[in-house]
C-alpha cells in the first residue's frame, strides 16, 4: 500500500510571533520551524499502518520554499521512504495549496492520502477536504485512529459530543487529529538513513492565491490580570465581580 | 446581491450559531444593499421560520431522506446547489464542527477560496474585510477574498445575535442526490444536549492541578450550575494522561475557544494553552500557585486549592443563578 502524507513547515508552537515591517507577514527571525503537530500525527499514523502491514511505501509531500526541505528531511528521518518538495509560495488560500497537492497526487496514485486536520500557522482547517473534492475521493476528517481492512479504510473520528466509527473505500483522503500515541523521534540511524533517501524537487503547479492579506496585527492586549483573593473566603467576591462587573453570570 | 447564511439544527432545534450567521449576514447585506437568505438542511423545517427574527428574508429548508443524518458530501452538494441558484455576494457558515467540515468542500466545488473562523467582518469601499485569528490567536489577519461568492465561516460566540426585521418566508428545496461515500458504522455519542467546548458560551476547563480523573465530578457540578450553555474543557496534560478525551482539549493542538466566560482550574497557563483561550471575554483562574502564568491574563484570579474552592464556587453560583 502506498500512503502519501502532506506536511507543512510552521513556526514552533512556542515561538513568539512578531509582525514584520510592512505589516503583512510575520518576522521569521529567531523562529524555529517544525512540522505542523497534526502532520506529525499523520506521519506517525502512516508509518504505523505500513509497519502493521509489513510492507508498503510512505511518501511525504510539501508545498513550500526550499527551506521546507528541512521538514521533509525530518520526515525521512522519522521513517518516510521518499519525499517531494513542490516549490512555491504558500498562502492563506488553502484551495491554491490543494490544487498544487492535487496535481502531485495524480502522479503519486496513492491508496491513502493523510493530512493534518489543520496547520497551526494559518489555522484554516480546509486543505484536506478541498484536496479530496479536487480528486473526487471520499474524505474522512478529524480521525484519531486509522485502520485498513482490505480495500476499506476505517477511522475513529472525533465528532461533537462523541466518537464515530466510519469507513470509506480506498483510495481515500483522511485528516488526522491527535490519537492515542505520540509521534516518534528520529533515531540517529534514521537521520543517517534519511541522507540517502530520495528527496525530489519540482515546481508547484501554480495556482495563484485569491486571499489577499491586507494587514497582520498583534492580538489585542488583555488588561493585566488581577487576583481577587485567596481560598474559599474569596469565592463570594469572585462571584459578585462576575455578576456585577463582568456581567457574565 | 444577497448574502446566504447557513443554519444548523441539533436534536430538532436551531442552534444559536444559526442566529449568529444570520446576524452577521444581515450586517453585510445592510452595507451592500442586499437581502438575507438562510439555508437549513434538516429532516423538517421545525423552528426555521424564527430566523426571520434575526433578519432573514428568505429561508430555504432542504428536508427529505438525505437530510435525516449528517453526511458531508450530501450537505456540501446541497449547499453548493443553493449557492449556484442565487446571486450571492457572500456565504456564511458557522465554524461549528459541522460547518468546518462542510465549508471547504463547498469552496472546492464552487472553486472559490474560503476564510475560516472569522471573528470580525467589515465592509470597506464595498469590499468584505474579514478579521481572523492566525497562529492560534498570536496574531490577527485582515483578509479580502478576491472571488465571488465570498465564503467565510464565523467563529461561535463572535457575533451576538441581534433582532432585526426580516420577511422570514420559508421555502422547501431538495437535498442533493449525491451519493454518500463515507459510511457510519457506529456512533458513541455523549449525553444529548452536551455542548461542544468550541461553541459553548461558558467553558470550565481542568488541568493537572485537579490531580486525577476521579475529581472531574467537581468540575461537572460547576458546569451544571452554570446552565446549559456551559461545557467542559481540558489542558493537554490531562488529555495526554488519558483523564479526558482530546475533543475537550483547549489550545493550539486542541480547540480554539472564544466563550463569554472561561474558567481555568489547576491549569498553569502554558503558551499553547493560552493560544486557545486568550480571546475569551472574561477569564477566571483558580490555581494554588500565586506565580502561575495563568494569573497574568486572568481577569479574575483566585489563589487556592481547587478541591476546596470548586465546591464553594458551585454552591455560590447555584445560590444566585438557581440552576
Ligand atoms: C506542540 C505542543 C502543542 C501543545 N498543545 C497544547 C494544547 O493544545 N493545549 C494545552 O493545554 N497544552 C498544550 N501543550 C502543552 C503545554 O505546553 C503544557 O504542558 C500544558 O498546557 C500543561 O497542562 P496543565 O496546565 O494542566 O499542567 P501543569 O503545567 O502541570 O499545571 C498544573 C497547574 O495546577 C496547579 N495546581 C496543582 N495543584 C493544584 C490544586 N490542588 N489546586 C489548584 N491548582 C493546582 C499548579 O500550580 C500548576 O499551575 C502543547 C505542547 C506542545 C509542545
Ligand atoms: N503547504 C502545504 N504543503 C503540504 N501540506 C499542506 C500544506 N498546507 C496545508 N497542508 C496540509 O493540509 C492540512 C490542513 O492545513 P490547513 O487547511 O492549512 O489548516 C495540514 O495539516 C497539512 O497536512
Tens-place pLDDT, residues A47-86: 999 999 999 999 999 999 999 999 999 999 999 999 999 9
* pLDDT, mean of residues A17-32: 94
Rounded to whole angstroms, the Cα distance separating A127 from B168 reads 35
- The answer, yes or no, to whether the previous bond of B234 is cis (omega within 30 of 0) is no
**Which set of grid coordinates corresponds to residue B144?**
479580502
Q: Describe the crossing of helices A127-135 and B97-110 by its angle, rounded to 10 degrees.
A: 40
Find, among B33, B90, B38, the residue nearest to B60 by Cα.
Answer: B38
A216 and B140 in contact by Cβ < 8 A? yes
Q: How many CB atoms lie within 10 A of CB A239?
A: 22
Is residue A243 over pLDDT 70?
yes
Whether the Cβ atoms of residue A113 and residue A45 lie closer than 8 Å to each other: no
Question: Of the candidates B108, B183, B301, which has its C-beta nearest A166's C-beta?
Answer: B183
- The answer to whether the Cβ–Cβ distance between A235 and B312 falls below 8 Å is yes
Kindly report, residue by residue over B105-117, the tens digit of the pLDDT.
999 999 999 999 9
CA distances from B148 to A79, A96, A242, B112, B145 (A): 43, 16, 43, 7, 8
**With 0-12 CB in 10 A as exposed, 13-18 as middle and 19+ as buried, what is B43?**
middle
Contact check, Cβ <8 Å, B299/A225:
yes
From chain B, pick out residues whose CB is under 8 angstroms from the CB of A37: 252-253
Helix (H, G, I), strand (E, B) or coil at A199: strand
Ordered alpha helix ranges (H), chain A = 37-53, 69-78, 94-108, 127-135, 188-194, 235-240
- CA-based nearest distance B117→chain A, Å: 8
User: What's the DSSP call for residue A54?
Assistant: T
Mean pLDDT of B299-306: 98
Q: What is the pLDDT of residue B176?
A: 96
pLDDT of A106 strictly over 70 = yes
**pLDDT value for A34:** 97
- The SS3 of residue A213 is strand
User: Mean per-residue pLDDT for B140-159?
Assistant: 96
* Helix axis angle, A127-135 to A94-108, nearest 10°: 50
Q: How confident is the model at residue B137 (pLDDT cuts 50, 70, 90)?
A: confident
- Kindly state the average pLDDT of the residues B11-24: 93
Residue-wise pLDDT for A122-142, tens only, equals 999 999 999 999 999 999 999
Please state, as a whole number, how many other Cβ atoms lie within 10 Å of the Cβ of residue A185: 9
pTM of the model: 0.94
**Mean pLDDT (whole number) for B1-16:** 92
Q: From B226, which residue of chain A is nearest by alpha-carbon distance?
A: A249
CB pairs under 8 A between A and B: 267
Interface contact flag, A246 B303, Cβ < 8 Å:
no
Closest residue of A to B111, CA-based?
A95
Residue A160: phi and psi, rounded to 5, are -55, 120
Answer left, alpha or beta for residue B251, where phi above 0 means left and psi between -120 and 50 means alpha. Answer: left
Strands B139-145 and A211-217: antiparallel
pLDDT band of B192, cuts 50, 70, 90: low
Residues in chain B closer than 8 A to A92 (CB atoms): 113, 115, 141, 143
What pLDDT score was predicted for residue A206?
A: 82
Q: Is B302 within 8 Å of A13 when comparing Cβ atoms?
A: no
The grid cell for B179 is 451519493
Banded model confidence at residue B10, pLDDT cuts 50, 70, 90: confident
Are B114 and B107 in contact by the 8 Å Cβ rule? The answer is yes
Average pLDDT over residues B145-151: 98
Q: What is the pLDDT of residue B193?
A: 61
pLDDT of residue B191 exceeding 70, the answer is no
What is the predicted pLDDT for the residue at A120?
95
Owner of C-alpha cell 453526511? B71
Taking the centre of ligand 2 as the mean of its atom positions, its distance from the CA of residue A150, in whole angstroms, is 28
- Please tell me the predicted confidence (pLDDT) of residue A158: 84
Nearest alpha carbon to residue B283 among A229, A142, A241, A157:
A241
For all residues of chain A together, what is the average pLDDT?
Answer: 96
- pLDDT score, position B66: 87
CA A213 / ligand 1 centre spacing (Å): 34
Cβ within 8 Å of residue A107, ≥6 positions away: none
Q: What is the pLDDT of residue A221?
A: 83
C-alpha cell at A192: 543517517
Rg (CA), chain B: 21
Interface test with B, best of A10, A31, A35, A92 (most B CBs within 10 A): A92
Choose the weakest-confidence range: A81-95, A217-231, B105-119, B137-151: A217-231
What is the percent of chain B where pLDDT is above 90?
82
| pLDDT confidence of residue A220 | 83
Question: Which backbone phi and psi does A146 adopt, to 5 degrees?
Answer: -135, 130
**What is the reported pLDDT for B322?**
62
Q: Which three cell numbers stand for residue B153?
A: 465561516
Ligand 2: which residues within 6 Å by Cβ?
A 6-8, 36, 38-39, 62-64, 90, 94, 97, 115-116, 118-119, 122, 124-128
pLDDT in the model for residue A180: 85
Distance CA B284, CA A234 (A): 13
Give the Cβ contact number of residue B110 at 10 Å.
Answer: 22
A95:B114 CB<8 A: yes
Amino acid at each position: 500500500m502506498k500512503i502519501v502524507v502532506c506536511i507543512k513547515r510552521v513556526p514552533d508552537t512556542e515561538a513568539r510571533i512578531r509582525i514584520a515591517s510592512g505589516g503583512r507577514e510575520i518576522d521569521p527571525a529567531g523562529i524555529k520551524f517544525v512540522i505542523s503537530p497534526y502532520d506529525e500525527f499523520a506521519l506517525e499514523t502512516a508509518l504505523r499502518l505500513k509497519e502493521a502491514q509489513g510492507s508498503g511505501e510512505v511518501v511525504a509531500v510539501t508545498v513550500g520554499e526550499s527551506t521546507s526541505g528541512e521538514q521533509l528531511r525530518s520526515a525521512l528521518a522519522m521513517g518516510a521512504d521518499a519525499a517531494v518538495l513542490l516549490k512555491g509560495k504558500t498562502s492563506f488560500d488553502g484551495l491554491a495549496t490543494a490544487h498544487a497537492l492535487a496535481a502531485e497526487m495524480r502522479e503519486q496514485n496513492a491508496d491513502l492520502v493523510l493530512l493534518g486536520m489543520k496547520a497551526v500557522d494559518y489555522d484554516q482547517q480546509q486543505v484536506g477536504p478541498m484536496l479530496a473534492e479536487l480528486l473526487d475521493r471520499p474524505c474522512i476528517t478529524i480521525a484519531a485512529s486509522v485502520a485498513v481492512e482490505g480495500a476499506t479504510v476505517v477511522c475513529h473520528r472525533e465528532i461533537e459530543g462523541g466518537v464515530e466509527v466510519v469507513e470509506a473505500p480506498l483510495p481515500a483522503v483522511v485528516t488526522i487529529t491527535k490519537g492515542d500515541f505520540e509521534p516518534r523521534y528520529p533515531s540517529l540511524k534514521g537521520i543517517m538513513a534519511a541522507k540517502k533517501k530520495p528527496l525530489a524537487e519540482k515546481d508547484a503547479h501554480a495556482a495563484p492565491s485569491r486571499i489577499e492579506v491586507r494587514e497582520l496585527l498583534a492580538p489585542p492586549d488583555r488588561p493585566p490580570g488581577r487576583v481577587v483573593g485567596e481560598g474559599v473566603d474569596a469565592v463570594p467576591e469572585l462571584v459578585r465581580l462576575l455578576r456585577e462587573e463582568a456581567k457574565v453570570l | 446581491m444577497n448574502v446566504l447564511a447557513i443554519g444548523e439544527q441539533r436534536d430538532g432545534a436551531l442552534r444559536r450559531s444559526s442566529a449568529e450567521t444570520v446576524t452577521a449576514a444581515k450586517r453585510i447585506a445592510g452595507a451592500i444593499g442586499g437581502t438575507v437568505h438562510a439555508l437549513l438542511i434538516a429532516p423538517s423545517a421545525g423552528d426555521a421560520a424564527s430566523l426571520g427574527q434575526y433578519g432573514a428574508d428568505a429561508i430555504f429548508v432542504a428536508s427529505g431522506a438525505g437530510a435525516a443524518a449528517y453526511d458531508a458530501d450530501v450537505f456540501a452538494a446541497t449547499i453548493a446547489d443553493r449557492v449556484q441558484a442565487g446571486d450571492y455576494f457572500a456565504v456564511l457558515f458557522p465554524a461549528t464542527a459541522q460547518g468546518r467540515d462542510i465549508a471547504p468542500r463547498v469552496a472546492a466545488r464552487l472553486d472559490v477560496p474560503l476564510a475560516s473562523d472569522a471573528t470580525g467582518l467589515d465592509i470597506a469601499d464595498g469590499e468584505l474585510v474579514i478579521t481572523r485569528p492566525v497562529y492560534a490567536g498570536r496574531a490577527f489577519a485582515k483578509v479580502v477574498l478576491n472571488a465571488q461568492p465570498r465564503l467565510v465561516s464565523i467563529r461561535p460566540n463572535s457575533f451576538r445575535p441581534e433582532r432585526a426585521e426580516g420577511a422570514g418566508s420559508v421555502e422547501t428545496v431538495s437535498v442533493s442526490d449525491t451519493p454518500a461515500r463515507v459510511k457510519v458504522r457506529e456512533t458513541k455519542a455523549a449525553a444529548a444536549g452536551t455542548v461542544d467546548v468550541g461553541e459553548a458560551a461558558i467553558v470550565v476547563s481542568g488541568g493537572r492541578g485537579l490531580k486525577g480523573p476521579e475529581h472531574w465530578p467537581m468540575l461537572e457540578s460547576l458546569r451544571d450550575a452554570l446552565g446549559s450553555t456551559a461545557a467542559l474543557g481540558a489542558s493537554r496534560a490531562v488529555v495526554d494522561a488519558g483523564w479526558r478525551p482530546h475533543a475537550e482539549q483547549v489550545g493550539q493542538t486542541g480547540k480554539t475557544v472564544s466563550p463569554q466566560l472561561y474558567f481555568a482550574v489547576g491549569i498553569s497557563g502554558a503558551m499553547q494553552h493560552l493560544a486557545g483561550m486568550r480571546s475569551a471575554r472574561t477569564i477566571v483562574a483558580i490555581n494554588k500557585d500565586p506565580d502561575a502564568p495563568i494569573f497574568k491574563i486572568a481577569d479574575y484570579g483566585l489563589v487556592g486549592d481547587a478541591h476546596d474552592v470548586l465546591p464553594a464556587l458551585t454552591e455560590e453560583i447555584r445560590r444566585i443563578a438557581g440552576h
